[in-house]
C-alpha cells in the first residue's frame, strides 16, 4: 500500500517537542515558518481593517432599486460623516417654532420654490432628488446651485431607496415631509408608462413605509394634481366631486396616490394632506409645460400648436402662479396636525385632508399666447390643431373655498403679472444669466 508522503515542513517536527534536541537548521526553518505565519496574520488583520473602514466610513454607493424606465438607473453616493454633517446642518431649525422638513423633488420647479421659502423663514430643510433627465437636468442643477446659496442641501437619491430614506430619518428627526418628487407630465406616459409607476406609486409607498416606521412619525404634505378630475364636466372642480375618470396614466397614478394616502392614514395614523395643484407656472418652471415651450418656440419663430376641443370648444387652464402655490404649501405644512402613530403602530385617528390649489380664473390657451406675444414683442406662428386624446383635458377650474377656509389660501397673481415675471426670468436665464433669481 503506498503511503502518503508527509509534507516536507512537517517531516522534522518531533512527536514530543522538547524531548529531542533540535538542530540549528530545524530551528531556523520553524522560526521562518512562524514568522511568515505572523506576517500573514498581521497583513490579514490590516486588510480586514481596511475593508471594515471602507464599509463604515466611506459614502455608501446605493444601487437604485429597479426603475423599469431605465432613465434613472444610476447609483448614488451618500453617507459618511461629512455627508451627515451637511444634511444635519441644512435641516437645522433656525427660528422659534420652526419645523424641520424633508422636501422630496427639491431640484424640481415647485420643490425649489418651496424649499427656498421654508429656508428663508428659518425652517430646517433637507432636499432629496434623483435629478432624472425627463427634462434637461442642467436646469435642475442650476436650481440646486440657487438652493445651495440659500443654505439648502439636496441629497442625490431616489425615493425608492429605503436604505437612504431610513438613513435620512436617522440623521434628522423630521417633523414634516413635503413630498413633491414625481413623474410629472401627462403626454410622456404614452412613451414611458413605467416611470409613472416607479415614482408616483412605488416611490410613494416606499416613502410612506419609511415615514410610518419613523419615530416620531412626520406629518406629510404631498402633491396630487387637478388632473384627478379627469373627464369631469361640472365646473368649478370641488374636492367633493368624483375623481374616477382619469384621462391619463399620470392622473391615474395621482388618484392612486390619494387612495394610498388614505390607507396609510387609516392603518398607521400618518397625518396626510394632499394638494391638487392646477397648472403651476413661473420662474424656474418646467420646460415640458406649454407656457414654457411656447415662449421658447415663439422666440425661435417656430409654429406653436393651439388645441381646439371638439365642437370648436375652448381649451382653457386655471393657471396658478408659483408664489401662490408656495403659500398654499406652507399653510398646509403649518396647519398639519401631528401623526398619531409610533413604532409603526396607530395610536389614534390622524388628520387626512385634500385641497384644491388653483387660481379660480381659467384662461383660454389662445389668450396665454397673446400675453406672451405682447411680453416678448414677437408674433407667434399659431397652428390650430384638434385636441389629441393623449391625456390632456379640455378645461380646468378650481373651486378653492375649502383651502380658503382651512388654509387661508388666497391667490393674488393674475396670468399677465405672473407671465411677466416668468418671461423676465426666462430671458435672463437663457442669456447666460443662469443664476437668475426668481
Ligand atoms: N407644475 C404643475 O403644474 C403641477 C400640477 C399638478 C401637480 N404637480 C405635482 O407637483 C409636484 C412637483 O411638480 P413640478 O412641476 O415641480 O415637477 P418637476 O418635475 O419639476 O419636479 C419633480 C422633481 O422630482 C424629482 N423626482 C422624480 N422622480 C423621483 C424619484 N423617484 N426620486 C427622487 N426624485 C424624483 C425630479 O428629478 C424632479 O426634480 C409633482 O408631484 C407634480 O406631479 C405639478
Instruction: Answer for the pair 112, 146: CB distance below 8 angstroms, yes or no.
Output: yes
> What's residue 54's pLDDT?
41
Give the residue, 220 or 49, on which the prediction is more confident: 220
State the alpha helices, DSSP H only, in 281-360: 290-300, 322-335
Query: What percentage of the chain carries pLDDT values higher than 90?
Result: 75
Ligand 1 atom nearest 179 alpha carbon: 41
279 Cβ below 6 A of ligand 1? yes
Q: What residue owns the CA closest to ligand 1's atom 13?
A: 110
Catalytic positions = 250
Residue 85 has pLDDT above 90, yes or no: yes
> What's residue 433's pLDDT?
58
129 Cβ below 6 A of ligand 1? yes
CA of 223 to the centre of ligand 1 (A): 8
Q: What is the average pLDDT across 395-423?
A: 97
Residue 21 has pLDDT above 60, yes or no: no
277 Cβ below 6 A of ligand 1? yes
Distances (CA, A) of 114 to 93, 160, 288, 333, 379: 16, 22, 20, 11, 34
107 Cβ below 6 A of ligand 1? yes
Q: What residue owns the CA closest to ligand 1's atom 7?
A: 225
What is the C-alpha separation between 223 and 273, in angstroms, rounded? 9
Lowest mean pLDDT among 72-76, 191-195, 209-213: 72-76
Q: What residue owns the CA closest to ligand 1's atom 28?
A: 182
What domains can you pick out in the chain, each with its CATH number? 60-279+319-358+397-412 (3.40.50.720)
Residue of 105, 130, 204, 207 with the most ligand 1 atoms within 8 Å of its CB, for mutation: 105
pLDDT confidence band for 158 (50 / 70 / 90): very high
Q: Which residue has the cell 397673446?
A: 370
What pLDDT, in 10s, does the model give residues 123-153?
A: 999 999 999 999 999 999 999 999 999 999 9
State the alpha helices, DSSP H only, in 175-227: 188-191, 193-196, 203-213
Residue 14 has pLDDT above 50, yes or no: no
CA of 105 to the centre of ligand 1 (A): 6
273 Cβ below 6 A of ligand 1? no
CA of 45 to the centre of ligand 1 (A): 48
159 Cβ below 6 A of ligand 1? yes
What pLDDT, in 10s, does the model give residues 36-72?
A: 555 556 566 555 554 444 444 444 445 454 554 445 5
CA of 361 to the centre of ligand 1 (A): 24
Distances (CA, A) of 88 to 84, 124, 173: 6, 9, 10
Element (H, E) at 261: helix 249-268
184 Cβ below 6 A of ligand 1? yes
Backbone angles phi, psi at 311, to 5 degrees: 60, 30
What is the C-alpha separation between 416 and 427, in angstroms, rounded? 16
CA of 135 to the centre of ligand 1 (A): 11
pLDDT confidence band for 18 (50 / 70 / 90): very low
Lowest mean pLDDT among 29-38, 110-119, 141-150, 152-161: 29-38
CA of 373 to the centre of ligand 1 (A): 28
285 Cβ below 6 A of ligand 1? no
What is the C-alpha separation between 315 and 396, in angstroms, rounded? 9
Residue of 178, 180, 220 with the most ligand 1 atoms within 8 Å of its CB, for mutation: 180
Residue of 62, 71, 107, 110 with the most ligand 1 atoms within 8 Å of its CB, for mutation: 110
Q: What is the mean pLDDT of the chain?
A: 87
110 Cβ below 6 A of ligand 1? yes
CA of 371 to the centre of ligand 1 (A): 26
> What's residue 35's pLDDT?
54
CA of 136 to the centre of ligand 1 (A): 13
161 Cβ below 6 A of ligand 1? no
201 Cβ below 6 A of ligand 1? no
Residue of 184, 255, 281 with the most ligand 1 atoms within 8 Å of its CB, for mutation: 184
> What's residue 167's pLDDT?
98
Amino acid at each position: 500500500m503506498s503511503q502518503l508522503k508527509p509534507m516536507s515542513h512537517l517531516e522534522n517536527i518531533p512527536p514530543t517537542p522538547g524531548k529531542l534536541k533540535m538542530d540549528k537548521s530545524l530551528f531556523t526553518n520553524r522560526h521562518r515558518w512562524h514568522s511568515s505565519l505572523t506576517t500573514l496574520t498581521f497583513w490579514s488583520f490590516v486588510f480586514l481593517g481596511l475593508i471594515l473602514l471602507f464599509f463604515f466610513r466611506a459614502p455608501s454607493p446605493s444601487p437604485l432599486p429597479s426603475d423599469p424606465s431605465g432613465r434613472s438607473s444610476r447609483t448614488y453616493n451618500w453617507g459618511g460623516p461629512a455627508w451627515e454633517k451637511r444634511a444635519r446642518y441644512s435641516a437645522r431649525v433656525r427660528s422659534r417654532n420652526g419645523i424641520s422638513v424633508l422636501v422630496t423633488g427639491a431640484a424640481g420647479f415647485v420643490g425649489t420654490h418651496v424649499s427656498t421659502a421654508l429656508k428663508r423663514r428659518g425652517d430646517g430643510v433637507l432636499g432629496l432628488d434623483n435629478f432624472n433627465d425627463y427634462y434637461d437636468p442642467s436646469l435642475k442643477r442650476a436650481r440646486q446651485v440657487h438652493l445651495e446659496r440659500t443654505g439648502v442641501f439636496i441629497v442625490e437619491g431616489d425615493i425608492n431607496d429605503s436604505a437612504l430614506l431610513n438613513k435620512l430619518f436617522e440623521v434628522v428627526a423630521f417633523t414634516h415631509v413635503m413630498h413633491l418628487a414625481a413623474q410629472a407630465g401627462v403626454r410622456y406616459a404614452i412613451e414611458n408608462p413605467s416611470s409613472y409607476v416607479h415614482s408616483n406609486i412605488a416611490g410613494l409607498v416606499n416613502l410612506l413605509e419609511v415615514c410610518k416606521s419613523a419615530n416620531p412619525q412626520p406629518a406629510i404634505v404631498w402633491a396630487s394634481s387637478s388632473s384627478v378630475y379627469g373627464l369631469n364636466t361640472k365646473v368649478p372642480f370641488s374636492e367633493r366631486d368624483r375623481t374616477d375618470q382619469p384621462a391619463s396614466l399620470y392622473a391615474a397614478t395621482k388618484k392612486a396616490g390619494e387612495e394610498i394616502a388614505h390607507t396609510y392614514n387609516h392603518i398607521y395614523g400618518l397625518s396626510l394632506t394632499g394638494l391638487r395643484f392646477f397648472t403651476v407656472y413661473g420662474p424656474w418652471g418646467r420646460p415640458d409645460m406649454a407656457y414654457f415651450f411656447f415662449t421658447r418656440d415663439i422666440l425661435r419663430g417656430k409654429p406653436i400648436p393651439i388645441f381646439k376641443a371638439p365642437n370648436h370648444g375652448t381649451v382653457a387652464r386655471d393657471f396658478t402662479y408659483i408664489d401662490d402655490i408656495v403659500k398654499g404649501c406652507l399653510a398646509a405644512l403649518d396647519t398639519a396636525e401631528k401623526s398619531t402613530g409610533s413604532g409603526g403602530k396607530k395610536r389614534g385617528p390622524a388628520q387626512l385632508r385634500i385641497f384644491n390649489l388653483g387660481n379660480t380664473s381659467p384662461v383660454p390657451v389662445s389668450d396665454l399666447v397673446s400675453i406672451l406675444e405682447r411680453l416678448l414683442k414677437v408674433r407667434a406662428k399659431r397652428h390650430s390643431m384638434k385636441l389629441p386624446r393623449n391625456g390632456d383635458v379640455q378645461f380646468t377650474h378650481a373651486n378653492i373655498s375649502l383651502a380658503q377656509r382651512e388654509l387661508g389660501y388666497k391667490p393674488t397673481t393674475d396670468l399677465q403679472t405672473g407671465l411677466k415675471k416668468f418671461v423676465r426670468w426666462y430671458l435672463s436665464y437663457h442669456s447666460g444669466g443662469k443664476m437668475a433669481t426668481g
